[in-house]
């Protein structure tokens, strides 16, 4: 697999001053599905084209997923924008199985009308076709939505391009750091700082509707858990007990927040009823208990505990009761969370002296190591379960990377300044 190392080094550097993510695919799959995405035709004033190149965004998304190999524009024999202009023989000659075409036109001030079609080149038939009306600021979102539709049609799995990631960036020096919590589109664009501090920020957690983030902030020198509305910036301090206030995790119905608190002596798992602000201790033990994470059906929680002498993953019913140890392979397992289908978990696992990202099949209990870094951490599933985003080190700094759940495709999302860490993939927006 390492031998596949070459390839697909696509970089798209973008203009936003703050964000500057570079995405490179570091390992890809042979046998990725060839697809041609023709640049969408602008049917308007040539001097005033839309700010975003829809076709290129769609192509980049598909390419980045690792399941597709997109045709470079300079190899295209024609650039049709309507079905009448498509000569399927051209695309067969280029060994393309699928073709995406589209066009965009003005629709009132600041508005656009978009049309796209996906074809099966060999069947010479349309698989899907859609019209959208949108505005300038939502053009990228529409492009990701189109990529999701293409992805779902051709793979049978819902796409996760129109989702977001949250992560923490540390800039400045050891003596005077500047820490920011940011959110960005799943391709790294549109990065926005939602809170920044001279004190540590950590452990962002999305609410199940994707509208809020819980996180830990050390402002005032002590950790507190905060909940912030992503779209309004409005925020509220949820806990500031003595000791640790950490590792917030939302229940799938959004009503409860699990967390690690050490207010009663050492870190245990608590669950807060958010409406009533009522706290219940779910796990009580003299050892370290932290990093709770809910099962997709809300019935169980995972957590990390070192009660057996080293950190391992345990499970407990959301109603309490017996604790079951899940991990027995490797001496260090931590920061686990369930896959969206609840059948596997992703975790940090130590292999020799290296910390890597693994997936454990809950039926067999065996851990598959997906990454090959030394200090990989904070794994988080994409909401369709196809990829896992995590933090790793590259070129002397912390960067974000994603790996397909089967370990075949890896990509790096490298912020050009600062140390990036603690990524978490958003749910689907509701």
Partner 1 sequence: MKILRILLLPLVVGMLVLSGCSSTGTKDGMEGGAGSGMGSESGTSTSAAGGAGKWTGSPLDDPNSPLYEKVIYFDFDTAEIRPEYVDTLRAHAEYLVNTPDARLVIEGHCDERGSREYNIALGERRANSVKRFLEAEGVSPVQLDTVSYGEERPVNPGHNEAAWAQNRRAELVYQ
Among 267, 385, 418, 423, binds partner 1 (CB under 8 A): 267
Q: Contact between 182 and partner 1 (CB under 8 A)?
A: no
Residues 10-36: b if buried by 16+ CB within 10 A, e if exposed: beeeeeeeebbbbbbbbbbbeebbbbb
Minimum CB–partner distance for residue 391 and partner 1 (Å): 9
**What does the per-residue mask of binding to partner 1 show for 283-322, with x meaning CB under 8 A?**
-----x-xx------------x-x---xx-----------
Minimum CB–partner distance for residue 407 and partner 1 (Å): 20
Residues 6+ apart with CB under 8 A from 134: 111, 112, 114, 141, 142
Minimum CB–partner distance for residue 151 and partner 1 (Å): 31
Of 381, 371, 391, which Cα lies nearest the Cα of 427? Answer: 381
The helix/strand/coil state of 39 is coil
The continuous run of DSSP H or E covering 55 comes out as helix 54-65
Nearer to partner 1, 39 or 243 (CB): 243
Minimum CB–partner distance for residue 30 and partner 1 (Å): 33
Query: Within positions 188 to 227, which residues make up the interface with partner 1, using CB under 8 A?
Result: 198-200, 202-203, 218, 221-223
In this structure, the number of other CB atoms found within 10 A of the CB of residue 387 comes to 24
Q: Contact between 241 and partner 1 (CB under 8 A)?
A: no
Pairwise CA distance, residues 211 & 209, whole Å: 5
Selected range binding partner 1 among 65-73, 127-135, 232-240, 242-250, rule: CB under 8 A: 242-250
Minimum CB–partner distance for residue 380 and partner 1 (Å): 13
Distances (CA, A) of 289 to 64, 137, 216, 309, 346: 37, 44, 17, 12, 18
Pairwise CA distance, residues 36 & 119, whole Å: 10
Q: Contact between 418 and partner 1 (CB under 8 A)?
A: no
Q: Tell me how far the alpha carbon of residue 115 is from its chain's centroid.
A: 27
Selected range binding partner 1 among 104-112, 130-138, 156-164, 175-183, rule: CB under 8 A: 175-183
Nearer to partner 1, 79 or 310 (CB): 310
Nearer to partner 1, 84 or 174 (CB): 174
Among 247, 283, 345, 415, binds partner 1 (CB under 8 A): 247
Beta-strand runs (E) in 153-286? 164-172, 177-185, 192-197, 201-206, 212-217, 224-229, 235-239, 245-250, 256-261, 268-273, 278-283
Selected range binding partner 1 among 31-39, 121-129, 183-191, 331-339, rule: CB under 8 A: 331-339
Pairwise CA distance, residues 366 & 356, whole Å: 15
SS3 content of the chain, % helix, strand, coil (to 5): 10, 45, 40
Distances (CA, A) of 188 to 1, 100, 212, 401: 26, 23, 19, 11
Q: Contact between 380 and partner 1 (CB under 8 A)?
A: no
Nearer to partner 1, 132 or 314 (CB): 314
Among 338, 355, 381, 425, binds partner 1 (CB under 8 A): 355
**What does the per-residue mask of binding to partner 1 show for 382-411, with x meaning CB under 8 A?**
-----------x--x---------------
Residues 6+ apart with CB under 8 A from 369: 349, 351, 356, 357, 358, 407
Among 134, 262, 295, 405, binds partner 1 (CB under 8 A): 262
Selected range binding partner 1 among 130-138, 139-147, 154-162, 169-177, rule: CB under 8 A: 169-177
Q: Contact between 38 and partner 1 (CB under 8 A)?
A: no
Selected range binding partner 1 among 51-59, 83-91, 230-238, 240-248, rule: CB under 8 A: 240-248
In this structure, the number of other CB atoms found within 10 A of the CB of residue 254 comes to 15
Q: Contact between 269 and partner 1 (CB under 8 A)?
A: no
Pairwise CA distance, residues 252 & 340, whole Å: 11
- Lookup: tokens for 120: 């099966």
Nearer to partner 1, 134 or 262 (CB): 262
Minimum CB–partner distance for residue 21 and partner 1 (Å): 21
In this structure, the number of other CB atoms found within 10 A of the CB of residue 280 comes to 12
Phi-psi region of 31 (alpha: psi -120 to 50; beta: other; left: phi over 0): left
Contacts with partner 1 by CB under 8 A lie at 174-177, 198-200, 202-203, 218, 221-223, 243-244, 246-247, 260, 262, 266-267, 288, 290-291, 304, 306, 310-311, 332, 334-335, 348, 350, 355, 374-375, 377-378, 393, 396, 421-422
């Amino acid at each position: 697999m390492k031998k596949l190392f070459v390839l697909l080094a696509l970089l798209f550097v973008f203009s936003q001053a703050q964000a500057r993510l570079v995405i490179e695919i570091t390992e890809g799959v042979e046998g990725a599905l060839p697809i041609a995405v023709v640049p969408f035709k602008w049917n308007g004033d040539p001097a005033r084209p839309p700010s975003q190149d829809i076709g290129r965004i769609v192509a980049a998304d598909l390419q980045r997923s690792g399941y597709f190999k997109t045709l470079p524009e300079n190899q295209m024999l024609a650039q049709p924008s309507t079905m009448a202009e498509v000569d399927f023989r051209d695309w067969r000659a280029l060994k393309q199985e699928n073709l995406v075409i589209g066009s965009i036109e003005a629709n009132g001030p600041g508005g656009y009308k978009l049309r796209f079609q996906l074809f099966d080149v060999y069947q010479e038939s349309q698989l899907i076709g859609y019209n959208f009306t949108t505005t300038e600021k939502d053009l990228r979102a529409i492009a990701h939505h189109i990529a999701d539709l293409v992805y779902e049609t051709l793979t049978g799995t819902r796409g996760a391009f129109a989702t977001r990631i949250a992560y923490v960036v540390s800039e400045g020096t050891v003596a005077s750091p500047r820490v920011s919590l940011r959110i960005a589109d799943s391709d790294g664009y549109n990065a926005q700082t939602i809170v920044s501090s001279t004190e540590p920020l950590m452990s962002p957690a999305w609410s199940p509707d994707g509208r809020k983030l819980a996180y830990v902030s050390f402002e005032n020198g002590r950790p507190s858990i905060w909940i912030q509305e992503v779209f309004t910036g409005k925020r509220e301090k949820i806990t500031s007990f003595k000791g640790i206030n950490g590792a917030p995790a939302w229940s799938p119905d959004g009503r409860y927040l699990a967390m690690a608190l050490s207010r009663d002596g050492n870190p245990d798992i608590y669950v807060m009823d958010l409406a009533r602000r009522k706290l219940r201790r779910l796990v009580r033990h003299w050892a370290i208990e932290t990093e709770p994470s809910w099962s997709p059906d809300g019935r169980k929680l995972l957590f990390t505990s070192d009660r057996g002498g080293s950190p391992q993953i345990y499970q407990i019913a959301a109603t309490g009761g017996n604790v079951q140890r899940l991990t027995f392979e490797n001496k260090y397992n931590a920061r686990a969370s369930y896959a969206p289908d609840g059948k596997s978990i992703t975790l940090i696992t130590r292999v020799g002296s290296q910390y890597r990202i693994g997936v454990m099949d809950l039926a067999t209990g065996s851990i598959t190591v997906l990454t090959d870094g030394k200090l990989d951490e904070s794994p988080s599933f994409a909401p369709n379960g196809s990829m896992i985003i995590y933090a790793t080190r590259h070129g002397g700094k912390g960067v974000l990377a994603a790996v397909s759940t089967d370990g075949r495709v890896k990509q790096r999302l490298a912020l050009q300044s600062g140390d990036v860490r603690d990524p978490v993939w958003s749910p689907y927006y509701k």
